[in-house]
Structure 1
Amino acid sequence: MAYDVARIRSWFPSLESGWAQFDGPGGTQTPRQVGDAVASVLTGPLSNRGTIGLSEQRAEEAVHGFRLAMADLVDGDPRGIVQGRSSTQLVYDFSRHLSRDWNAGDEVVVTRLDHDSNVRPWVQAAERAGATVRWADFDPETGELPVEAVTGLLSDRTRLVAVTAASNLVGTQPDLPAIASAAHEAGALLFVDGVHYTAHELPDISALGADFFTCSPYKFLGPHCGVLAARPELLETITPDKLLPATNAVPERFEFGTLPYELLAGVTAAVDVLASLDPDTTDGASSRRERLVASYAALHEHEAALAARLAEELATLPDVTVWSRAARRTPTVLMTFDGRDAEDVTRRLAEEERVLAPSGNFYALEASRRLGLGDDGGLRVGLAPYTDESDLERLLDGLRGALA
Structure 2
Amino acid sequence: MSKSEQQQARTIDRVNTTLAQRYGRERRFRRFGFFAVVLGLAFVGVMFLSIIGKGYSAFQQTRILLDIEFTESVIDPSGERDPAVLSSANYSALIKNSLRALYPEVKDRKEKRELYGIVSNGAALILRAKVMADPTLLGSQAQLWLPADDDIDMLVKGYIDRTVVQSERRVKDNVIAWIEKLESEQKIGKFFNTTFLTGGDSREPELAGIGGAVMGSLYTLIVTLLLSFPIGVAAAVYLEEFAPRNRWTDLVEVNINNLAAVPSIVFGLLGLAVFINFFGLPRSAPLVGGMVLTLMTLPTIIIASRAALKAVPPSIREAALGVGASKMQTVFHHVLPLSMPGMLTGTIIGMAQALGETAPLLMIGMVAFIVDIPGSAMDPATVLPVQIFLWADSPERAFLEKTSAAIMVLLGFLIVMNVLAVILRKRFERRW
Fold match (TM-score > 0.5): no
TM-score category of the 2 structures, normalised to the smaller one: under 0.3
Higher relative CO (Cα under 8 Å, sequence separation at least 6) belongs to 1
- In the superposition, the TM-score normalised over structure 2's length comes to 0.21
Kindly indicate which of the two structures has a greater share of residues assigned to strand. 1
- In the superposition, the TM-score normalised over structure 1's length comes to 0.22
Which protein shows a greater Rg? 2
